[in-house]
Amino acid sequence: MIQFACLCKSRYIQTAALLLIVVLFTVGVKGQEITDFRKLSLPEWDSTYLDSTYIFSMIRESNLQSRRDTDSAIATLETLIAHCHVAGVYDGVVEGSYFLGYIYTQKGMYPLARQWFRHAVLYSSKGRRRPFKMCRILINIGNTYQFEGNYKEAVTYYFRAAELAEQSVKTDIAIASPLIRIYNHAGASLLQFGQHEKAMYYFDKAEAIAKAWKVPETLPAIWANKAIVYGRTRYREKAWEYSRKALYTAKQYEQAEVQVIVLQNMAELEKNNGELTRSIAYLEDALRVRNNLNPYYTNKALYTLGATHLSLGNYELAEQYLTSAYGQAIQYNIPEHQLYINQQLAILYSSIHKYREAFRHQQAAYQINDSLLNKEKTIAVDMLEIKYRTAEKDKTLAQNQLMITEQKSRLRQKNIWIYIVTGSSLLLALSLVSYLRANRHKQKIRVLKAVIEGEEKERSRIARELHDGIGGLVSAMNMNIILLGKEQKTLHDDTYQKLLHITDEISNEIRKTAHNLMPETIARNSLPEAVQLFCNHINKNGLEIDIQTYGPFELLEQDIRLSLYRIIQELVQNVIKHAQATYTLVQMSLQEPILCIIVEDNGVGIDPGKQTGGMGLHSIKTRIESMNGRFSIESDPGKGTTALIELPV
């Protein structure tokens, strides 16, 4: 069977496993902040108690506590993480951050969950069993995107996790469990777009590994998904068989989410068979499952119950369930659910002659549907690319088989040569297309680099003009004013002193501007040191700038350091000019093959509808594109701004 790794070639291989550690840094989440553990005032705690047994017992206790009181569980985990951080017990930081992310996922707070998962990634490089932890974290980040309906990002994280798991499973059998989950989630993503055959391929593969490696607790989720496939492809008996054993096993392992999924599927099977009363009974059973469930699952049961009552003509109950589900879908940002609920509400209000309300919900459904269709088209392109790579792998295997057959049978020699010539021609054509594309990209990079070099030369020219020309004239004027004061003793009044002070300030500002335009600090210092000097120079007006660095930045070439220095300069100056912030974080990390820079503030943020591409941002994008990097900005009004830069090195 074709290995899952074949789906992750090309750009996924280039981004490799270490990329994941840096890409998933502690990016700030809208309106939320992770505690700065270095600034905590903690009670005395004997660090000898922070062994692995104690840490994991505390985490298990917090996980159980979260089912009763999530706030207390969160407080306990934050305290544990803080003490582990101070004591340097990084395994505890990783595990505590991971379970905090899991708890926030269950609460439907997906951006904050991702923030804690990324915090776990940041410290996973300092602990043990790194590949296992990375796989587990990447899967959960993918899940948060899937719950939000962003299947493109979800599939990307699943593929990255799959690549890492495939590389490590031979040396660490514990990765078997995450690998099973990867295959199951990959199949579930394909299922969203009606690709039942491909989805079933991954479900079968996950089930085979779970049985071979004796990981029975992963089977209920796989069986639940297989039941959905059988139900949609009209194999009703198979659908009921897998639903029943999935429900039974999920109850044994206390897997509440799987129970809800199975009960919803059983309700759908009854509804398709015309048994609406039985369908309602299963949905009510699903809503009675209580275990601190993710709202994604309960919301679906709620709106399905409303739709079923609508089919029965119970308009009052239907409105009650649908409006309740609609409020939750908006609160937790579940666009697929919003689409279906709006459609059902439009039918409901039309049935009871509230045509204004019906029209409003129908319009909302159209708008959401357009957005989802655009998103689905993007994902469809990714799926076609995966299909192409899979076919390419099949073709290579077929050619190898043909060459072996040629040695065994002279009678088939002619056909074998035809296959070889055809395949070679295809590979040659593909190589030519790839070369032309790469050449165009290199040409574009050369043009961008030439533009940037021209900018730097112009900066240097302006700096020399300021320093040697205008700066010299101002210095001469200052000296003459001082001489005039010595000759005319009566001039030593307040006006004369102010004039002397102003000329000094003008001279200093010209010198500082010239140095910023042509910074000598880059030639003499590493990038972190140059940024620190720059921030010390502008750190004023109540703005606190916190600089964090990780990695061997002294290895960077001078032209790269200069470009990165310009980028950070522009981002920090934007914070000073526009953000009205009191705190800014500048975080730089270099872990081959990726360099990551984060500039985050707690200012007023940016209104997405009013964002404009100024010259500063255009310059940043040009520089990053010339280095084949990625640049993104995340912001909401009143909730701060985060700029993320990723560059291959």
Nearest to 188 by CA among 244, 265, 255: 265
Categorize the per-residue pLDDT at 512 as very low, low, confident or very high, splitting at 50, 70 and 90. low
Mean pLDDT in residue range 269-284: 89
Model pLDDT for residues 305-363, shown as the tens digit of each residue: 999 999 899 999 989 999 998 998 888 888 888 888 999 998 988 889 888 888 888 88
Kindly report, residue by residue over 148-198, the tens digit of the pLDDT: 877 777 777 887 887 777 777 666 777 778 888 888 887 887 787 777 888
Question: Which residues of 219-321 form beta strands (DSSP E)?
Answer: none
Q: What is the pLDDT of residue 368?
A: 79
- 595 beta partners: 590, 647
Helix (H) or strand (E) holding 599: strand 594-601
Which helix (H) or strand (E) covers residue 564, if one does? helix 558-574
pLDDT digits (tens, 9 = 90+) for 611-645: 555 667 777 888 788 788 888 888 888 888 999 99
Q: What are phi and psi of 605, to 5 degrees?
A: 80, -175
Neighbours of 199 (CB within 10 A): 24
**What is the per-residue pLDDT for 23?**
38
Q: What mean pLDDT is predicted for residues 400-419?
A: 64
The winner for highest mean pLDDT among 99-103, 504-508, 624-628 is: 99-103
Q: Phi/psi of residue 128, each to 5°?
A: -105, 165
3-state secondary structure of 552: coil
- Averaged confidence pLDDT in the chain: 75
**CA–CA distance, 102 with 96 (Å, rounded to integer):** 10
Structure confidence at residue 36 (pLDDT)? 47
**pLDDT for the residue 25:** 36
Beta strands in 325-426 (DSSP E): none
- pLDDT of 460 reads 62
Is it the case that residue 141 has pLDDT exceeding 70? yes
CA distances in angstroms from 104 to 33, 108, 147, 148, 181, listed in the order given: 13, 6, 13, 14, 20
pLDDT at 276 over 80: yes
Is residue 276 within 8 A of residue 312, CB to CB? The reply is yes
> Which residues have C-beta within 8 Å of that of residue 227, sequence separation ≥ 6?
238, 239, 240, 241, 242, 243, 246, 262, 265
3-state secondary structure 459-504: HHHHHHHHHHHHHHHHHHHHHHHHHHHHHCHHHCCHHHHHHHHHHH
DSSP letter, residue 556: S
Q: Which tokens sit at 343?
A: 């459609």
Q: What per-residue confidence (pLDDT) applies to 6? A: 35
User: Looking at this protein, which amino acid is placed at residue 80?
Assistant: L
pLDDT of residue 22: 36
With contact defined as beta carbons under 8 Å apart, do 301 and 287 qualify?
yes
CA distance 472 to 524: 25
**What's the mean pLDDT in 53-59?**
68
Cα torsion angle, 140, 206, 288, 68, sign: negative
